[in-house]
Homo-oligomer: A and B are copies of this chain.
Amino acid sequence: MTDIEIAQQTKMEKITQVAAKLGLAADQIEQYGDYKAKIKLNADQAAKSFGKLVLVTSINPTPAGEGKSTVTVGLGDALAQLKQKTAIALREPSLGPVMGMKGGATGGGYSQVVPMEDINLHFTGDMHALTTANNTLAALIDNHIYQGNHLNLDPRRILWKRVLDINDRALRHIVIGLGSPTSGVPREDGFDITVASELMAILCLAENLADLKRRIGRIVIGYTYDKQPVTVAQLKVTDAISLLLKDAIKPNLVQTLAHTPAIIHGGPFANIAHGCNSVLATQTALRLADYTVTESGFGADLGAEKFMDIKAPVLGKTPDAVVIVATVRALKMHGGVAKDQLATENIPALKTGFANLKRHIASMKRYGVPVVVAINQFTADTAAELAELKALCQQNNTSASVANVWAKGGTGALELAEQVLKLTAQKTEFLPLYQPEMELEEKIKQIITQIYGGRGVEFSAKAKRQLRQFKQQGWDKLPVCMAKTQYSLSDNPKLIGEPTDFTIHVRELVPKLGAGFIVVLTGNVLTMPGLPKVPAAAKMALADDGTISGLY
Binding site for B on A (CB under 8 A): 30-34, 38, 41, 95, 99, 117-118, 121-122, 125, 128-129, 131-132, 135-136, 138-140, 142-143, 146-148, 164-180, 182-185, 190, 208-210, 213, 236-237, 239-244, 246-247, 530-531, 533, 535, 537-538, 540-542, 544-546, 548, 550-551
By a CB distance below 8 angstroms, the chain B residues around A140 are 99, 531, 535, 537
Report which of B168, B182, B533, B545 forms a contact with A138, defined as CB distance below 8 A.
B168
24 sampled A-B residue pairs with Cβ under 8 A? A99-B139, A99-B140, A125-B128, A128-B128, A128-B129, A128-B131, A132-B165, A135-B168, A139-B166, A140-B531, A146-B170, A169-B182, A169-B183, A170-B183, A170-B184, A173-B177, A174-B174, A174-B175, A174-B176, A174-B177, A179-B190, A183-B530, A209-B544, A246-B546
A521 CB to nearest chain B CB (Å): 15
Q: How far is A125 from B132 in the complex, measured between Cα atoms in Å?
A: 11
Given A132-B95, A244-B121, check contact A541 B178 (CB 8 Å): no
Q: How far is A533 from B32 in the complex, measured between Cα atoms in Å?
A: 38
Interface centre among A148, A240, A244, A541 (most CB of B within 10 A): A240
Task: Decide if A246 touches B183 in the complex (CB within 8 Å).
Answer: no
Task: Decide if A538 touches B237 in the complex (CB within 8 Å).
Answer: yes
Task: Decide if B531 touches A143 in the complex (CB within 8 Å).
Answer: yes
Task: Decide if A147 touches B533 in the complex (CB within 8 Å).
Answer: yes
Q: How far is A552 from B75 in the complex, measured between Cα atoms in Å?
A: 49
A70 CB to nearest chain B CB (Å): 23
Question: Nearest CB to that of A137 among chain B residues?
Answer: B537
Task: Decide if B33 touches A30 in the complex (CB within 8 Å).
Answer: yes
Q: How far is A165 from B134 in the complex, measured between Cα atoms in Å?
A: 12
5 residue pairs, one from A and one from B, having the closest CB atoms = A173-B179, A170-B184, A128-B128, A240-B537, A139-B168
Report which of B34, B129, B540, B551 forms a contact with A30, defined as CB distance below 8 A.
B34
By a CB distance below 8 angstroms, the chain B residues around A533 are 147-148
By a CB distance below 8 angstroms, the chain B residues around A121 are 243-244
A231 CB to nearest chain B CB (Å): 15
Report which of B148, B184, B247 forms a contact with A169, defined as CB distance below 8 A.
B184
A486 CB to nearest chain B CB (Å): 18
A540 CB to nearest chain B CB (Å): 4
A221 CB to nearest chain B CB (Å): 14
By a CB distance below 8 angstroms, the chain B residues around A537 are 136, 140, 237, 240-241
A548 CB to nearest chain B CB (Å): 5
A527 CB to nearest chain B CB (Å): 12
Report which of B125, B535, B551 forms a contact with A125, defined as CB distance below 8 A.
B125
Task: Decide if A122 touches B122 in the complex (CB within 8 Å).
Answer: no
A96 CB to nearest chain B CB (Å): 9
Question: Nearest CB to that of A30 among chain B residues?
Answer: B33
Question: Nearest CB to that of A171 among chain B residues?
Answer: B176
Q: How far is A108 from B391 in the complex, measured between Cα atoms in Å?
A: 72
By a CB distance below 8 angstroms, the chain B residues around A99 are 136, 139-140, 240
Report which of B32, B135, B240, B247 forms a contact with A540, defined as CB distance below 8 A.
B240
